[in-house]
Structures are given as C-alpha cells and as structure tokens.
Homo-oligomer: A and B are copies of this chain.
Amino acid sequence: MAKHRVLLIGATGETGGDILSGLVEDGSFDISLLIRPSSTNTPKAKALEAHGFPFVVSDLTEPVDQLVTKIKGIDTIISAIRSQEALSEIILVEAAAKAGTKRFLPCDFGPVCPPGGIMAVRDTKEIVHNAILVAKLPYTFVDIGFWHQFSFPPVPSGKLDYAILFPGTNVIYGDGNAEGILTDKRDLGRFVARIIKDERTINKKVVAIADALTQNQIWEIVERLSGEKMNRTYVSADEVVSQLARAKEAAVASGNEKVNLEVIAGSYNWSRYVRADNSPENAKYLGYLDSRELYPDFRPIGFEEFMREALQGKAKKLYADGKVEKLYNDGKR
C-alpha cells in the first residue's frame, strides 16, 4: 500500500521541526517539505535535503493552478508557517481544495483561545480557518496549549536560566489558579502523526494535552524537584489587564503595532492566566476533541519529566538562532 503522503510547511522552524521528527518517528508517512525559493540553500534546508526529503519549492505567491500541480497527490498538508506569514496559507488552502487534498492542518498548534479580539494571532488564524470552510476543504485544527518549555519559572540558584527564553515566567499572574493546558514540544509530531491517521478527527478541532496545571501547581512542582525555595511574586489580574492596555497604547503611539511583543505577551497573559482560555474545560466548551480521550494509550512527556531534565541541564534553549529574542528586545526599545 502506498504510504500516506504528507506535505509539511515550516520544517526549519521550532514547531515544524518537532512535527517532522514525530512524523519520521512514526514511519508511516512519505514526507515532502514546502520550502521557499529563498530558503533552499540555507544550512537548515540543506540538512533536510541531505536527509532525503523531497522539496516542493514555492513562495506561496504563485498562481493557484501552478501550485495545484505541485501538490497533486498529497494526502495531508500540515502548515507550521511563521505566524507573521499565516495569511499566505490561504493560497495553499485554495490550491489544496482544487488538488483534492484529503486533510489540511493550518498553522494552529497554539493555546486554546476563541477568536474575537483576545489575541491578534488567533484572529489571524481564524481568517485561515474561514478560508478553509469557504473552500470546503477537509481539515483538522490542532492546538496544543503551551509548551512545557515556555512554562516554568527560574529557580533562585539560577540553574534554569539557561533554558528560559522570555522574561515574565518568574511571576504568578492573578491568583495563580488558572488551569492551563501544557504539552512538551517534542511530542507535537507524535500527536500530529496520530491525529492525521485518525478519521475521527476529520473536520474537527483537537487539543493535545499532556498536563493541565495552574501556576501554583507548577511552582510547587519546581520547588519539590529542585529542592529550592521559590520566590512567589504575584501580578494581580487587574494589573495584567492594565499592562495589556498600556502596551496597546504604547504600540499605537509608537506606530509599532504589527508584531509588538509586549502586546503579544500581555494578550497571552490575559488569555492564559486571567481569562483561563487555555483550560481543558474551555477547550471542551469550544468543541475540541481531547487527545487524552482519543489516544488513551499514548503517554505524552509530562511536565514533571520535562522539569527533571531541565534541572539536570538537559533542556534545549528554543529559537537558538536568537531571532525571537532580538525581536523581543527590539520591541522593548
């Protein structure tokens, strides 16, 4: 039997790389990678080529019919495109509908949150979702909560600092009791491999869940595993709301509204810790299928397991090329 043919967009990124690993590990897929013409000669792309992955080269601005011929015969398209480029998925949606692609996973892979003005990045994703529905393209929308890798505080000894990308994980927002969905980023592809082979998930939203923890629970876990007495600095819910309002005002004033990391961080904090949008309960309300019910036999990497590794110095710093940090620091200036 012919293998399930997958086209992956964004394999050189954090999310795409994890998805690729999981699909390869699964072994049941013929994987092609969509690469932009400007990226075919980058070291990352060269490394992927050396592994034997065929490239579909497109900048996603070509005529739809031309793109259709390139993706003909693909069963499943998975997009892990950079969030700033999410809207360029739309041409791929149109091409996929014409090419008869059997399932399309747009670049979701984020926290659970409804559209409607809470997080700009989520609203952009909704435009892509709607384009999929208009095209009547079979889909699965997959969210994964927050990565363990983004969701732990520093410890007083400093031994976790090496693995912390953003500041702001050192405080507890609101009362610290908002439950949030967590997954280990290394499990992304394992979840995706299961989801795209599963007819139950066609035309559905799925949320991958390893753990659902509050910040207070996370602090207790880190305290217990590290043996260190943790600081507990609280930022009230009201302060989260006004921080966000101030960040939005500043963004408007500075003209730097488009990718403003203060606004993004503020929106995330509001959604995650004050509104508790990213809870299993809210995911259920929003109609998501729960990976724990779909795949009871799959044991994802738990938060504690990740923390043990991180405390042993084995966690990997994300976005190691420093681009995201640069963006963040530029945004603060």
Contacts and interface: CB of A to CB of B under 8 A. Distances in A.
A28 interface: no
Interface in A100-143: 114-118, 127, 130-131, 133-134, 136, 138
B136 A116 contact: no
B116 A286 contact: no
Contacts of A286: 133
Copies of the chain in the assembly? 2
A203 B287 contact: yes
Contacts of A282: 136
Given A114-B134, A115-B130, A133-B115, A287 B285 contact: no
Contacts of A287: 203-204, 287
Interface string A186-212: 000000000000000001100000000
5 contacts: A115-B133, A117-B130, A136-B282, A203-B285, A204-B287
Given A114-B134, A136-B282, A203-B287, 15 more contacts: A114-B130, A114-B133, A115-B130, A115-B133, A116-B127, A116-B130, A116-B131, A116-B133, A116-B134, A118-B134, A133-B286, A136-B285, A138-B285, A203-B285, A204-B287
